[in-house]
Structure 1
Amino acid sequence: MSVLIAIPARYASTRYPGKPLVPLTGASGNSQTLIERSWRAAMAVQGVDRVVVATDDDRIREAAEGFGAEVVMTSENCANGTERCAEAHEVLGGGFDIVVNLQGDAPLTPHWFVEDLVAGLKSAPNAGVATPVLRCDGEALNSLLNDRKHGRVGGTTAVFARDNSAMYFSKEVVPFTAQTYGDTDPTPVFHHVGVYAYRKDALSAYPTWETGPLETLEGLEQLRFMENNHKILCVEVEARGRQFWELNNPSDVPKLEAMMAAMGLD
C-alpha cells in the first residue's frame, strides 16, 4: 500500500501566528524552525513513498523549499489540517492508499509512532482513520492538568473502547482521576498524539461534511469523523524513553527545547 505523509502548515494560527517558522534550539545549540524539525521527523519514518509540506503561505513555502522539502500549495479556505491534507492529496492525483497527517507542530514525534500507526491502520480494514495515543505518566498528566488550571489549551486526551475504537477526544483531561501519581507512574489518561492516518476514501469524504457541534466546541478536527459515524482506531504507542509534547502555545517553546536538551536531540 502506498503511503504519503503530508505536513499541513499555516501561518495564520489563531493562538500562535507564524508558529511553523518559530526556531527551536537543539541540544548542541543548533537552531531549526518548527516546520523543518517536523519535516525531518517525517523523513525518518520508514515505509513511506513521499513526504510533502502542505501550506497556503509563501513564507512557509520558501522556508520549506530552502531546507529541501517538497511543497504542495493549498487553498486559504482549508479549515484544518485534515482538509489541507485532503486537498494536497487531490493536487497530487489522489493515488495514495494511506495519507498520514503529521501536523507541523509535533517535531518530537518519533518515527515509530508513525510506523506503528500505519501498521495499525493496515491491520484494521474496517477503520478509515487511525491515530496514536500515548499513556501519560504522572509528569505528563500533571503538565496537562497544569495547563488547564492556568487556562491554557494544551494537549488533547483520548478515551477509547475495548476494541480501541475512539469514544471521545477532548482538550479537557479525561477520564477524571482523583489519584496522585509520581512522575514515572503510569496513569489511566492517554495523551492524543496529533498524527492521523487516513484511508483515501475517508479522507476525500471529510471535506464534504459540515462541521458539527462537538468539533466546534472542542476545536478538534477528528471529531468530524465521529460526528459522521466513522470509526477512529486508537493505536497505543510506546515512548521508549522519549519525551513527547506538541507546540501549542509560546510557553511550549522552552519546554520543547528542554526536552530536546534532556534527550540529546539536536
Structure 2
Amino acid sequence: MKTLIAIPARYASTRYPGKPLVSLVGPDGAKTLIQRSWEAAMAVQGIDRVVVATDDARIADHAAGFGAEVVMTSSEARNGTERCAEVAAQLPGYDVIVNLQGDAPLTPAWFIADLLRGLAADPGAEIATPVLRCDGRAVSGFLADRRAGRVGGTTAIFDQNRRGLYFSKEVIPYTGREYADDEPTPIFHHVGVYAYRPAALVQYPSWPIGPLETLEGLEQLRFLENGRPVLCVEVEAKGRQFWELNNPSDVAVIEEMLRALPAQL
C-alpha cells in the first residue's frame, strides 16, 4: 500500500495554545513537540512520505527548519482529520493516509506498522486506530486527571470483531475496582493515530457533526455517528510507556518517559 503520514498541527489550541512548539527535553537534548512527532513518523519503515500539515506560518517555518516537508492547509479545518482530508486532496495517489497527531511523540513505530497491517487485513474497514491495554498505572493516571479536572487520554470500547462501539475522555468501561500498577486491566487507551482509506477521508468534512462528537470533542466519533465502522487494532507496549501531551502538566510526564527510552529499547 502506498502510504503517507500526515502530522496535523495547529497553533491556536483551545486548551494549550502553541503546543506544537513546546520544548521537550530528552536524552538527545531539547526538541519541540512537533519535531519529536515528526521523528516518530520518520522511524516507521515502509512509509512513502511524511508531511507536517498546518495553517500556521510559525509551525511551518519551524518544521521546514528541521527538514520536514510542510503542506499548508486552511484555518477552516476543525480537527486533525479534516486537516488530513485537505492533505489527501492536495496529494492524491495514496492508498492509505495515516494521521499521526502532533501531540504523540512517544508513538512507537510498531504501533503504526501494526495499524497498517490491521487495516490491510480488513477490507471492510474505512478507518483503523490503535488501542493499548492499560495497566493499573495508566488507569490511575487517567483517574487522577479526571479528579483534577484535566482532560487526559481517551479510552475505547469495541465489539468482538474489533469494531469501535464508543470512545470517551472518561474512563470506560466502569470496573468499580483498583488495580496494581503492573496489573493488566480491561480498559483500553485509545492511541491518537488513524489510518484512513482516502475515499472515506475525503467525505469526512461533509458529514454532519453529531452530538457525541460535540460533547466529547473526539473527531473519530463522527465516523460512528454517521454509521461508518472504525477498526480498533490492539497494539503492544513492549515495555515502552505511552502518553500524549494534552495539558501543560503532561510536559514533565513525557520528559520523564523520554529519559527512560534508552533503557526501554
TM (norm. structure 1) is 0.98
Q: Does 1:98 align with 2:132?
A: no
Provide the C-alpha distance between the structure 1 equivalents of 2:227 and 2:143, rounded to a whole number of angstroms.
30
In the alignment, what sits opposite 1:142? 140
Q: Which ranges of structure 2 fall in alignment gaps of 5 or more residues?
A: none
Q: Give the aligned partner of residue 83 of structure 2.
A: 84
Q: Give the letter for the 1:198 counterpart.
A: Y
Write out per-residue CA displacement over residues 35-94 of structure 1, whole angstroms, 9 at most, x where no aligned residue.
0000000000011110000000000000000000000000000000000000011112x2
2:105 partner amino acid: P
Structure 1, residues 182-224: CA drift from partner, whole Å, max 9, x if none?
1100001000000000001110110111111100000000000
1:119 is aligned with what amino acid?
Answer: R
Q: Which amino acid aligns with 1:115?
A: A
Matches of 2:77 and 2:192 in 1, distance apart?
18
Matched, 1:195 2:193: yes
Using the TM superposition, give the Cα deviation of residue 27 of structure 1 relative to its aligned residue in structure 2, in angstroms: 2.4
Deviation of 1:177 (Å):
1.1
Corresponding residue number in structure 1 for 2:52:
53
The equivalences for 1:128-167 within 5 A come to 128-167=126-165
For 2:18, the equivalent position in structure 1 comes to 18
Give the Cα–Cα distance (whole angstroms) in 1 for the partners of residues 38 and 237 of structure 2: 20
Map of 1:64 onto structure 2? 63
- Residue 264 of structure 1: how far off its partner (Å): 2.9
| TM value normalised by structure 2 | 0.98
CA deviation after TM superposition for structure 1 residue 96, in Å: 0.6
CA distance in 1 between partners of 2:186 and 2:45 (Å): 30
Specify the SS of the correspondent of 1:264: helix
Cα offsets for 1:241-263 (capped at 9, x unmatched): 00000000000000000111122
Matching residue's letter, 1:213: P
Amino acid across the alignment from 1:76? S
Q: What is the aligned partner in structure 1 of residue 9 from structure 2?
A: 9
- 212, 215, 219: which is aligned to 2:213? 215
The AA in structure 2 aligned to 1:15 is R
More displaced stretch, 176-185 vs 111-120: 176-185
Amino-acid identity (%): 67
AA aligned to 1:22 is: V
Show structure 1 runs of 4+ deviating over 3 A.
none
Give the letter aligned to residue 88 of structure 2.
H
Structure 1, gaps ≥5 residues long? none
Counterparts of 1:82 and 1:154, CA distance in 2: 20
User: Of 174, 182, 185, which residue of structure 2 is paired with 1:184?
Assistant: 182
